[in-house]
Amino acid sequence: MRTVLITGGSFNIGLALVEAYLAQGWRVINVDKHSPDRVIKGEYHYVHGDLNDIEKLSTVFATAKANTKQIDALIHNAVFNTKTTLKTLDEAVLDESYRVNIKAPLLLTKWFAEQYLGDHGRIIHVTSTRAYMSEKDTLPYTMSKGAMAALTHALAITLADKHITVNAVAPGWIAHDNERLRLIDHRFHPSGRVGTSDDVVRACLYLTEKGNNFVNATTLVVDGGVTKKMIYPE
């Protein structure tokens, strides 16, 4: 049985990933500072961990690793995201964005690679189309997602000898529970609809397939075509 460690697996995209990998027969370890609000059955293990608390992160990883002989895949889904204007931007927000979105994933990757001895290692960064296009007052988030996109190909080259591929999935607009959507929201997308967590899940499942080792060091954009759409003023 293959094991996947998913950060931020208690809500939204993360929870959808947890349930999908369990359904595919994986052992799943969810590292999150909050536990899911429902019972999850199967080979599932919840490990409490706050990625902002870097000093305790090695202990969190060791606790996660104790649940399995080897972790075969690592999906970085947890994120720190807050809107802030340039005027109100402070170092505390910048530091937390860096720790949760960049430093913690890199350290977890280091420890994952050190324990991995197989031939089908997989790492996925859940980034965002914000790495390529911007929304006002999202500076720390956009900056960190851009850095994660660069980190993806850097790690893929670094870990090539370990038989570990590193890719990213960049979602666009993904609707979450109880989000009110209008017809115009769906029509804005060339695919004709706003995205769902399942769209991100399918991309991750594809990237973690055992035979899929030729897709490497790349970012799979899951946005219904929006980032390729030329938009003119009305």
> What does the pLDDT look like over 105-124, one tens digit per residue?
999 999 999 999 999 999 99
- Cα–Cα distance measured from residue 212 to residue 109, given in angstroms and rounded to the nearest whole number: 20
pLDDT of 33 higher than 80: yes
Instruction: Using the CB atoms, write b or e for 146-160: b if 16+ within 10 Å.
Output: bbbbebbbebbeebe
Phi (first) and psi of residue 64, to 5 degrees: -65, -45
**Alpha carbon separation from 111 to 72, 76, 125 (Å, rounded):** 12, 13, 16
pTM beyond 0.85, yes or no: yes
pLDDT in tens, 136-178: 999 999 999 999 999 999 999 999 999 999 999 999 999 988 8
**Average pLDDT across the chain, whole number:** 96
pLDDT band at 234 (very low <50, low <70, confident <90, very high): confident
Q: Which residues contact 85 (CB under 8 A, 6 or more apart)?
A: 137
Instruction: Mention every residue, 6+ apart, whose C-beta is less than 8 A from residue 110.
Output: none
Burial status of residue 130 (CB atoms within 10 A of its CB: 0-12, 13-18, 19 or more): buried
Residue 90: predicted pLDDT: 93
Q: What is the mean pLDDT of residues 70-80?
A: 97
What pLDDT is attached to residue 72? 98
Active-site residues, by number, are 141
Rounded to whole angstroms, how far apart are CA atoms 164 and 74?
10
Ramachandran category for residue 84: left, alpha or beta (phi over 0 → left; psi -120 to 50 → alpha): beta
8 A C-beta contact, residue 170 and residue 222: yes
What per-residue confidence (pLDDT) applies to 70? 98
pLDDT for 178:
84
* 175 token code pair: 């609707």
CATH code at 3-228: 3.40.50.720
**Measured between alpha carbons, how far is residue 55 from residues 60, 61, 99, 104 in Å?**
10, 12, 11, 10
**Contacting residues for 179 by C-beta, under 8 A, at least 6 apart:** none
What ranges do the domains of the chain cover? 3-228
Q: How confident is the model at residue 52, as a pLDDT?
A: 97
